């Protein structure tokens, strides 16, 4: 397996400010029950998402029950295929893609446009992915003429949950329901003029949403279910202001990579920014790489003082990933001689900074809620700096935000590309939460952005270092 590249997005045009993070472990979702029926024959659903691989019952985007066993559902199956079905004693509508949505680093856009009054059956249900109409389906059953779908009825309409407990897990943005119109995909996005393969969002606020339609832009952190169209707000369940994210289709932030885990020993939560390992020497990496980055990681599980090495976090050279054990994250080792730099819990001796060629003990007893800071650059003066709870390990800070370029914890090779890593070496220290700035997995008491205004961190981002996101690509080299 190779690392997923950063998802490069266009920087011009309409900007999406916020998304909402849904965590299936929290059973989070939204719902609304219309006061009366809308148009059950003609409607459109549009949304952007970034998620993880699905399993079991898959991941649910939209769901509404009808009478008896009748219901409509839009979801992934356990193989990452997207489907919509409307079931009424049998499948009256069923479209399931052959395409598998496997890129956990990317934002996808989907439009499902229904109009059962159309004379041609294939025009009665259309699906678009990133601006292109989907034409390759594993299964394709089109509704009969003038069929009344369950969606747009008077039952509860869920965003992010079905009735069997299959919740969505990840980020949703620009969620739109148009009641009474089968909209063209160009109502929601456009191809970039300079990069014509890149599909990007446009302003949808001027659309006609119809009787029961809604628009979720997630810009009100105290009311994430707010209908920006002015209609009735959706009711939030197990969602909080901290679930508002700045990781969006127009500024894609790094997360950890759940594909780097075919052994299944690491579980991911909180938008792929919380990790828990069930075994020793399991590891994962970030979805974006750079030449100048900053992130924070919070210790969740109590350190084990009786064991020599525990949690590790830092960076490794992209060229040398194969030197650090199996590339699916199942076994971490140094056998291949790769280049990496990290800080780790050293049992009763406290924290230490480490490479395969050098180890330096640092005072301080590892504790729950410790926040480790990692900053690196490989441009003119190449180095990596480590901090904990606002204090840089080697005292290299000349003030609260400036690191001494001549005094890194380690000098590193100029011009190389590095990727963040997390390693769990102890089952007693196997849980942590990482903050790349797009939506902190852990609560923070202050908000600090980088010099470009991106990210939200507990501690000040040092001058010359940046959050890992697509807006900062120019800073990464």
Share of the chain above pLDDT 90, in %: 58
Residue 356 predicted with pLDDT over 90: no
Architecture in CATH for domain 266-476: Sandwich (2.60)
Q: Both ends of the chain: CA-CA distance in Å? A: 24
Separation between Cα atoms, residue 184 and residue 191, nearest integer Å: 14
Give the model's pLDDT for residue 100.
94
Calculate mean pLDDT across residues 434-458.
93
Separation between Cα atoms, residue 426 and residue 280, nearest integer Å: 5
Give the model's pLDDT for residue 214.
98
pLDDT band at 167 (very low <50, low <70, confident <90, very high): very high
pLDDT tens for 392-429 read 887 666 666 778 878 888 888 777 788 888 877 665 55
Structure tokens, 201: 């969002």
Give the model's pLDDT for residue 291.
78
Are 19-245 and 266-476 in the same CATH fold?
yes
What CA–CA distances, in Å, run from 286 to 257, 282, 294? 6, 14, 12
- Residue 199 pairs in a beta bridge with 191
Domain boundaries, the chain: 19-245, 266-476
19-245 fold? Jelly Rolls (2.60.120)
State the burial class of residue 36 (Cβ atoms within 10 Å of its Cβ: 0-12, 13-18, 19+): exposed
pLDDT band at 198 (very low <50, low <70, confident <90, very high): very high
Torsion sign across C-alpha atoms 440, 443, 449, 450: negative
């Amino acid at each position: 397996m190779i690392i997923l590249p950063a998802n490069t997005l266009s920087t011009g045009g309409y900007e999406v400010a916020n998304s909402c993070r849904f965590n299936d472990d929290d059973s989070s979702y939204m719902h609304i029950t219309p006061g009366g029926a809308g148009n059950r024959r003609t409607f459109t659903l549009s949304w952007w998402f970034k998620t993880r691989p699905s399993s079991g019952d898959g991941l649910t985007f939209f769901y509404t029950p009808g009478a008896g066993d009748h219901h409509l559902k839009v979801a992934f199956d356990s193989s990452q295929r997207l489907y919509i079905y409307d079931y009424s004693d049998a499948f009256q509508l069923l479209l399931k893609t052959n395409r598998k949505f496997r890129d956990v680093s990317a934002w996808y856009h989907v439009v499902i446009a229904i109009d059962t009054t159309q004379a041609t059956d294939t025009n009665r249900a259309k699906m678009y992915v990133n601006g292109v109409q989907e034409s390759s389906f594993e299964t394709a059953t089109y509704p009969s003429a003038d069929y009344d779908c369950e969606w747009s009825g008077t039952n509860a309409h869920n965003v992010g949950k079905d009735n069997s407990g299959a919740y969505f897990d990840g980020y949703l943005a620009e969620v739109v329901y148009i009641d009474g119109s089968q909209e063209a995909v160009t109502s929601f996005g456009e191809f970039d003029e300079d990069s014509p393969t890149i599909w990007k969002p446009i302003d949808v606020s001027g659309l006609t949403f119809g009787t029961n339609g809604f628009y979720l832009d997630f810009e009100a952190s105290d009311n994430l279910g707010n209908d920006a169209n002015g209609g009735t707000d959706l009711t939030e369940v197990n969602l909080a202001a901290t679930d508002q994210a700045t990781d969006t289709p127009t500024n894609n932030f790094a997360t950890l990579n759940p594909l780097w885990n075919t052994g299944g020993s690491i579980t991911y939560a909180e938008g792929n920014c919380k990790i828990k390992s069930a075994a020793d020497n399991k590891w994962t990496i970030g979805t974006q790489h750079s030449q100048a980055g900053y992130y924070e990681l919070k210790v969740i599980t109590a350190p084990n003082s009786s064991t020599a090495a525990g949690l590790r976090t830092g960076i490794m050279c992209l060229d040398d990933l194969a030197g650090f054990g199996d590339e699916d994250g199942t076994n971490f080792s140094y056998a291949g001689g790769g280049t990496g730099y990290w800080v780790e819990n050293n049992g009763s001796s406290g924290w230490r900074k480490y490479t395969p060629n050098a180890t330096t003990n640092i005072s301080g007893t590892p504790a729950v809620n410790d926040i480790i800071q990692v900053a690196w650059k490989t441009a003119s003066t190449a180095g990596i700096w480590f901090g904990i709870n606002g204090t840089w390990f080697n005292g290299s800070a000349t003030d609260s935000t400036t690191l001494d370029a001549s005094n890194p914890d380690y000098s590193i090779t100029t011009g190389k590309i590095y990727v963040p890593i997390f390693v769990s070496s102890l089952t007693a220290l196997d849980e942590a939460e990482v903050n790349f700035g797009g939506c902190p997995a852990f609560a923070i008491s202050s908000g600090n952005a980088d010099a470009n205004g991106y990210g939200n961190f507990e501690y000040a981002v040092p001058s010359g270092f940046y959050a890992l996101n697509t807006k900062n690509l120019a800073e990464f080299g």
